[in-house]
Structures are given as C-alpha cells and as structure tokens.
Chains A and B, each alone.
Chain A
Amino acid sequence: MSDILLSFRNIAKEFSGNRVLNNINLDIKKGEIHALIGENGAGKSTLMNILFGMPVIHTTGGFEGSIEIEGEKVQITSPHEAMARGIGMVHQEFMLIPGYTITENIKINRELTNPNPISRIFGKQLETLDMKRMNADARKALDIMGMDIEEYTMVEGLPVGHMQFIEIAREIDKSGVKLLVFDEPTAVLTESETQNLLSVLEKLAATGIGIIFISHRLDEVMQVSHRVTILRDGELVVTKPTEDTNKHEIAELMVGRKVIMERSGSDKRKISDDIILSIRNLEVKMPGEEVKGFNLEVRKGEIVGIGGLAGQGKLGVANGIMGIFPARGEVIFEGRPLELNNPKGALAAGLAFVSEDRKGVGLLLDDSIELNTVFTSMQIHNQFLINLGFAKFMNARRIRRHTQAMINDLDIRCTSSKQKVGSLSGGNQQKVCLARALTQNPKLLLVSEPTRGIDVGAKKLVLDLLKKLNEEQGLTIVMTSSELAELRSICDRIVIVCEGKVEGILPPDASNTEFGLMMSGSRAGSQQGDGIA
C-alpha cells in the first residue's frame, strides 16, 4: 500500500457559495508523473492552493475533505508547512534574484553557515556563509538534471530555459522533497528546452519523487506522464493510465460540456461578403497576453468569436486594435488602413470596445451612469455638447434623456441615471460598458470577456443583447471570451488563438474534441503532435 505518496480525500471548496471543487479523490504514487488537466477555471489552481495551504483558502472558510501524505492525515495551513512536509512547487513565473549566482539562488534562505566570533555574540544571523558546501550542494542538484552550467554563474542574462531549471534545482536541493508540482512549466520554453525539461522530469521521477504535472499541452502530457486526471467545472472527470487513452479523448473530456444555448434565428440575418475588418500580422505587446502575428478577416454583419486558453494572446487582439497596448502590423477597417497605437483614431473610425478590464479600463467607477454612457461619444464625436464658440459645454438635458433611454433599452437596474457606476452590480456595470459602446454608434463592436464576473442570469441577458444588436441592426461583433460555451452560443465562427497566433477557425457546432485539441495547440488531424509551431 505504501507506494501511495499523497491522497486527496473528498476535497470540496466553496468561494462565497460558489462551489469550485467537488468531491475530488486523487492518489499520487511515488515516482509517478501525474498529469492534471483542465480548462481555465476547472479547479486546478484551487486544488494546488489547498495542497499548499495558501492563505486564499483559509481566509475564505477553508475546505472540506482531507489530505494524506504517506497514509498519514495532515493539516497543511501554510506554504511553509507544505515545504516542511516535502512538497515543492516550481512556479510558472520565475522567482529568482537576477543579481545573485545560481548557488545563491538555489540556497537562498537555507544557506549553510559556519559560526564566527561575531556570530557567537550576536547570534546565528551573522554567521559566515560556507560557500564551498553550498556550491557542492548546488552542483549536485544541477547534476541530477544534467546541467553542465557553472554553479557560480550570475542568473542575470541566462536563457529562460536555464532559469526554469534553477527553479527546479532549488526544489530538489531541499532535503526530503517527496512531491513536486510543476505548474505549466513549458509555457515559456522553446521546443528543445521543453524536451530537456521533460527528460529531467523523468529522471526526477526515477529517483522516487512524485510529480504533479499541470499542462494544457496534450502532446507533452502523452509523452511524459504515467497517469492523467481531468478536471472539469470543479469535478474530477476521470483518472486513467496514460497508455489507455489518447489526446483526442482527453481533449473531449476536458471541454465536454453541453452547449447550453443554441445559435438561433440566424436565418433572419444576412452576412454580406464585404470584408469590414482585416487584420494582418498583428503583434501586440500586452503583458501575459502577447499576440505574435495574428491574421483574420471579418465580414460585415457576422459575429466572430475569439477563444483560446488564458495567456495565449486572445485578449491582446482587441486591445491591440484599439491602441490600448503597443501594437504592430496592418489593420484595414472598411478599406482604409487603421493607424495603430492611436485609440482616438480607432474610435473615430467607428470601432467601439468593451474591455475585459471592466473596473480598470472600462468604467469611471466614481462617476454617474450618465457620464460613463456618453463620455466617449462626447470626446470623440462631439456629441451631447452645446457649442458656444469659445467653449463646448455639456448638454445635461440631452445626456439625461439619452442615458434614460439606454437604461430602459438595456434594462440597467439602478436608482437613477445619476447613480455612481461603482455601486452597481457586475452585470449592470457591464451593461453600462455596452451602453457607452452603443452610444458611439459603432460600425464594429469589439467585446472582451463580456460575462466575466457576472451571474448566470445577467450572462444570458448580455449575450442575448449582443445577438439582438447583430440581428436587428446588422452590427458586426468580434467577441473574445474564455468561455467556449458562450462563444458557441452566439458566434458564426470561432477563431482559436494559441501562442499568439490563429491556431484554427471552427464553426460553433464543431465537436468538443476539435475545440479541445485546437486550444491545446495540437491541430486536428495531426497524430504526432507536429502541430506546435
């Protein structure tokens, strides 16, 4: 029995009434590489946060169920305690100090020291570092991974692949490490670095360390893992030996959620053949959502969805077109080239944008619904103003009337049009964002994550509204969302973005397998995983 290293027993977790994990039972064996797979929001991070006793779990009411390490029930209440019990984490973002050497980074806060006269008086904090022993330890850890880099090299300027290995070296240098969690370790690595990393994983596992490998790259999972566990919407779907499954099955199980809302009424609409927006080689420097050469043509009157996993660059597209993050490339709107990095130009050309960052870019939280609704139109199109020649004053009466109409049309729940937007609920705030975009009378509407952080009822209202605008006014919409079901419910076609590029375009009724494979960067049809660009 004792080859089981770690067990999750009946784990469940609620965040303010919202169940994000339910009845998770999972064993990790010694020397096993266990892949954990799921879409964004499936519950992977929450599960890991529970394992590490992160404060975010304990400040929100703890969790149900129990964790056992080598058959012994344990209470992990802090990351420190997790470390003491031999559980380590290799972070996605590197936590290294650039100006220190590799050894110093590996040994930080666990330095080996020798006593000296001063430290005998003033205590342990002033003991001399034993660089010889520290270097030897670091060497050992580096050797395990087959890295022939000198341990006294400065971390600054090393390639990212090396940094990743130093992170790992730090974890395995901790004495008694039993379990290592790798959270998307290959996300920033090149292909050859990835191969190195995967072989290091195998070496580590061979020494008896258990490994939890979180990745959305199914090819890697197939290559390196022994067993696979798939989470979906907080439920454990299945745990299987990797050899008994294939990436098509995994993809299907990962996405496999029923499409709740069907696209309907599409016969009423007409999509012309005119290309209204054409994007060529768009590159956007949006931190965490970088776009690296995106191409797309949007026809007049259609709803195009942009989907993909978090961090792949889908959010960067709209932000780049609207000039919110620095962009490069060619965007042609209604036959005319659009100047990039110029929000004013994009707005004046007839584009409107509902940002995913509702409380940051999207709204003036301390100001009224009125000002939020008309602000952009007033500034860009000189509407809602009384021009007295020497100055343009706001036309309070017209603003009031227009806002009132918007409140009625979009069913914004508020006490009056003067209410501060910050005191509205998430769904109503989103409607105010939409109201501002619609007030601009846009020819094309870019919407990012329109239902993020709003409740189910409001979600449907927002989606229905978008559909209605498209059907009744022929408004062209480009909607970016991380919820596939939502994209499939209203879009005519769905562009899947992976690693900053278009991975492929699917119709909304394509199978779960196709979506799943495309989102994880393996092109449909390719068997060997050669799809990764």
Chain B
Amino acid sequence: MSVKIAKKNNGVKRGLAASIIDKIGLPTLIIAAFFAAVMITAVVLKQSIPVLISDILRRFGMNGVLVLAMVPAIRSGTGPNFALPVGIICGLLAWTIGIEMGLTGIKLVLVVALMATVFAVIAGYLYGRLLNAVKGAEMAIATYTGFSIVGFMALVWLIAPFKSKQMGWMMGSGLRETIKLEGVGAAQIFNKFLSFEVLGITVPTGMLLIFFAFCLLIWLFFRTKTGIAITAGGNNPEFAAASGINIDRNRIIANIISTVLGALGIIIYSQSYGYFQLYSGPLMMAFPAVAGVLIGGATASKANVSHVIIGTFLFQGLLTASAPLANQLFEGSDLSEILRMVLQNGIILYALTQVKGGGK
C-alpha cells in the first residue's frame, strides 16, 4: 500500500517537473542554472558583488530594446530579425547627422531619436517588402541583408561629407571608427536620469524606465486589432487569410516596428556605452539579440515581451558575470577575452539549436 502511494507521488512529481520544463523551456532553465552557478562562483572567489550587479543592470538596460526588436518580427512569422543591423544603421546615421548639426545634450538625443525613427520606418518598409518576396527563406536572407547593409554603409561613412571635428579623423576625410559621446554631452544621459545607489549598486533608472516603457508599448500593441491580426498571421497564415487578413501588409508593419526598435535600441545602447561604433561595429549585433530572446523562452515563431525581459537578463547577466571571473581564473593571459567569445558564441549557438524548443 505504502509502495503504491510512493509510486503515485513520484508520478505526480515527475509530471510537475515535466510541466515546469514545458512551461519555462529547457534552454531557459539550463542558462538560468549556469548563471546561478557563475554567481555562486563569483561569491566564492570574492568578486565585488555590488559592482557585478551594477554591471548586469546596466547591460540589461543597454541591450533590452535591441532584444525587444525581435518580438514583432517573430510574431509576424518572419522569424527572428537577423537584419537588426538595418535598424542599427538607421540609429547610427541619425547620430552622425545630429552631431554634424552641432546639437548637444538632451536636445541632440531627442532629435537623433526622431530622425532614427523616420529612417527606420523607410528602411523597415523596404526590408519588409524584401521579406515578402522571399517567403520561406527569411532567416538566411535577413542575415545577409544585415551584412550587406553594413558593408555598403562602410563606404558611406568614408565618403559622406561630414565636417564635425567630433567625428572626423585628425587628418584626411571620412568618419572615425569609434565616436565618443562625451564631447557632445550625450554619454550616459539616460543612465544618469534619476539614478541612485543602494547597497553599493548603481541603478540606471532612466534607461530601465525607457526599456520598460517600450516593453509596455509592445505588449499593448499586441493587444490591438492590428497586433492580434499580425500574431494570427504568423501562427497560421491560412487561418488568417481565410479571415480576410492582409498578411503581407502585416508582415511589413511588424518589420517596420522591429527596425524602429533596432534604431532606438542602438541609441540607448550607445549613450550607455559612451560612444558608438561605425564600419563593422553593427555587423554581428543581431546575434546576441536573437540569442537573448531565444534563451528567454521564445521560439522562431513565438515570442512574448516576458521572453525578452527574462532572456536579456540571463544572457547579459551570464556574459557580464563570467568575464571578470575568467580574468581572475586565468590571470595575466589573453584567455579571458577568448573565453568570453567562446561563451557568447556558445550561448548563441545553443540558443539557435533550440529554436523549436521551449514553451509554445
């Protein structure tokens, strides 16, 4: 009798474990466990935990909107937006034009954001049209769209008639590879807004607020008539078409939103960094964003705002925490940087192999 009960309990437990894995998704659980292990090691190795947490918060806020850009694309059925560099370039172009205009401080940032949005709407529209022409091969096409635009813009950065001393080389023409935002009063402008310190942890309040505001907007958008139609078109195109939905138009709308988020995302990212990078800087930026949303539990066809928040936190947290750890463990060698690369790309690779896993 008692054996029977034990068996029964066991069954219930296993069911519970399976349902948790089902609900949260295996990749998310594994990365979370890995993250926890790294944090514990950090404590054991006597790393400064407040500094670590401050760093994690900062990187979380920096990358959040870029990861959020994945949601509309995935929900519309075009898959993760591997062409994120398209949006990023719009943001960078806006930065350069804004600085060239001689603006500084908050005025600069607002004008840049406005310009970036306009550029991104146009670029996103064209990109959406492209995706509609290559249905079924979106992910590969998107990746190479991103690569191509970065290559093309490398030419533009070189020959565009920019005059500003902030951005040019000491001699010759063309823009510098790395452009500091300190000189134009835009570095950490959001981070510092309402920022406070508690237990030695610096909280970049302004940046986090902006990130959460975007999360709220996207969440709300997918509760509107258009948002619901976009999701339905991504989940089951035949169903949506039979209900009279214009799927191609919706895919374009979703990719415009994604591109705009990419453009605004890079503005938030670079103000926190203190500088932005031209030329091959944006080349690989889509991958950490894709990995972030996938680790959060999204799949190539399903993504929620919650996936973005969880995934960005885990992915950036893991990267941030493991770097100083590697430094300490392999002191005096270049190994830590290599290890960081291995880790980041390893996570991306893992997330991509798990594209179909996770909660539906």
B226 proximity list for chain A (CB < 8 A)? 391-392
Q: Does A326 lie at the interface of the complex (its beta carbon under 8 Å from any beta carbon of B)? A: no
* Choice from A348, A361, A392 contacting B242 with Cβ under 8 Å: A361
A378 proximity list for chain B (CB < 8 A)? 225, 228
Q: Does B302 lie at the interface of the complex (its beta carbon under 8 Å from any beta carbon of A)? A: yes
Please determine whether A375 and B232 come into contact, CB atoms closer than 8 angstroms. Answer: yes
- Which of A366, A382, A396 has the most chain B CB atoms inside 10 A of its CB? A366
Q: Does A347 lie at the interface of the complex (its beta carbon under 8 Å from any beta carbon of B)? A: yes
Please determine whether B224 and A362 come into contact, CB atoms closer than 8 angstroms. Answer: no
Please determine whether A362 and B239 come into contact, CB atoms closer than 8 angstroms. Answer: yes
Please determine whether B242 and A355 come into contact, CB atoms closer than 8 angstroms. Answer: yes
Taking the nearest CB of chain A, how far is it from the CB of B75, in angstroms? 12
- Which of B220, B238, B302 has the most chain A CB atoms inside 10 A of its CB? B238
Q: Does A338 lie at the interface of the complex (its beta carbon under 8 Å from any beta carbon of B)? A: no
How many angstroms from the CA of A348 to the CA of B229 in the assembled complex? 16
Q: Does B328 lie at the interface of the complex (its beta carbon under 8 Å from any beta carbon of A)? A: no
The B-contacting residues of A in range 375-422, CB under 8 angstroms, are: 375-376, 378-380, 382, 385, 391-394, 396
A363 proximity list for chain B (CB < 8 A)? 236, 239
B229 proximity list for chain A (CB < 8 A)? 379
Closest to A367 in B: B235
Please determine whether B243 and A385 come into contact, CB atoms closer than 8 angstroms. Answer: no
* Choice from A322, A366, A394 contacting B223 with Cβ under 8 Å: A394
- Which of A322, A385, A392 has the most chain B CB atoms inside 10 A of its CB? A392
Please determine whether A366 and B360 come into contact, CB atoms closer than 8 angstroms. Answer: yes
Please determine whether B242 and A343 come into contact, CB atoms closer than 8 angstroms. Answer: yes
Please determine whether A394 and B232 come into contact, CB atoms closer than 8 angstroms. Answer: no
Closest to A382 in B: B225
**A392-B224 contact, Cβ under 8 Å, with A375-B232, A379-B244, A380-B244:** yes
How many angstroms from the CA of A346 to the CA of B236 in the assembled complex? 20
Q: A472-491 interface mask toward B, CB cutoff 8 Å, 1 = contact, 0 = none?
A: 00000000000000000000
B241 proximity list for chain A (CB < 8 A)? 324, 343
Please determine whether B228 and A347 come into contact, CB atoms closer than 8 angstroms. Answer: no
A364 proximity list for chain B (CB < 8 A)? 232, 235-236, 239
Q: Does B323 lie at the interface of the complex (its beta carbon under 8 Å from any beta carbon of A)? A: no
**A348-B238 contact, Cβ under 8 Å, with A366-B302, A366-B360, A379-B225:** no
Q: A338-349 interface mask toward B, CB cutoff 8 Å, 1 = contact, 0 = none?
A: 000011111110
Q: Does A353 lie at the interface of the complex (its beta carbon under 8 Å from any beta carbon of B)? A: yes
B243 proximity list for chain A (CB < 8 A)? 343, 347, 375-376, 379-380
A357 proximity list for chain B (CB < 8 A)? 238
Closest to B241 in A: A343
Q: Does A465 lie at the interface of the complex (its beta carbon under 8 Å from any beta carbon of B)? A: no
Q: Does B42 lie at the interface of the complex (its beta carbon under 8 Å from any beta carbon of A)? A: no
How many angstroms from the CA of A382 to the CA of B226 in the assembled complex? 11
Q: Does B245 lie at the interface of the complex (its beta carbon under 8 Å from any beta carbon of A)? A: yes
Closest to B236 in A: A364
Please determine whether A361 and B244 come into contact, CB atoms closer than 8 angstroms. Answer: no
Please determine whether B236 and A391 come into contact, CB atoms closer than 8 angstroms. Answer: no
How many angstroms from the CA of A343 to the CA of B245 in the assembled complex? 8
B235 proximity list for chain A (CB < 8 A)? 364, 366-367
B246 proximity list for chain A (CB < 8 A)? 344
The A-contacting residues of B in range 203-248, CB under 8 angstroms, are: 220-221, 223-226, 228-229, 232, 235-236, 238-239, 241-246
A365 proximity list for chain B (CB < 8 A)? 236
Closest to B228 in A: A394
Please determine whether B224 and A393 come into contact, CB atoms closer than 8 angstroms. Answer: yes
Please determine whether B242 and A391 come into contact, CB atoms closer than 8 angstroms. Answer: no
A392 proximity list for chain B (CB < 8 A)? 224-226
B221 proximity list for chain A (CB < 8 A)? 391
Taking the nearest CB of chain B, how far is it from the CB of A174, in angstroms? 39
How many angstroms from the CA of A375 to the CA of B220 in the assembled complex? 17
A348 proximity list for chain B (CB < 8 A)? 244
Q: Does A277 lie at the interface of the complex (its beta carbon under 8 Å from any beta carbon of B)? A: no
Please determine whether B238 and A361 come into contact, CB atoms closer than 8 angstroms. Answer: yes
A343 proximity list for chain B (CB < 8 A)? 241-244
* Choice from B223, B239, B360 contacting A361 with Cβ under 8 Å: B239
Please determine whether B238 and A360 come into contact, CB atoms closer than 8 angstroms. Answer: yes
Closest to A372 in B: B239
**A324-B228 contact, Cβ under 8 Å, with A367-B235, A393-B220:** no
* Choice from A324, A355, A394, A396 contacting B224 with Cβ under 8 Å: A394
A366 proximity list for chain B (CB < 8 A)? 235, 302, 360
**A344-B223 contact, Cβ under 8 Å, with A364-B236, A378-B228:** no
A361 proximity list for chain B (CB < 8 A)? 238-239, 242
**A347-B244 contact, Cβ under 8 Å, with A361-B238, A364-B236, A366-B360:** yes
17 A-B residue pairs with Cβ-Cβ distance under 8 Å, sorted by A, are: A324-B242, A345-B244, A346-B244, A353-B242, A355-B242, A360-B236, A363-B239, A364-B232, A364-B239, A366-B302, A378-B225, A379-B229, A379-B243, A382-B225, A385-B225, A391-B226, A394-B225
Query: What is B's interface to A at a CB cutoff of 8 Å?
Result: 220-221, 223-226, 228-229, 232, 235-236, 238-239, 241-246, 302, 360
Ordered nearest first, which 4 A-B pairs have the shortest CB separation? A344-B244, A392-B225, A343-B244, A376-B243
Known: A346-B244, A347-B244, A391-B221. 11 other contacts (CB 8 A): A324-B241, A342-B244, A343-B242, A344-B246, A348-B244, A360-B238, A363-B236, A366-B360, A379-B228, A392-B225, A394-B223
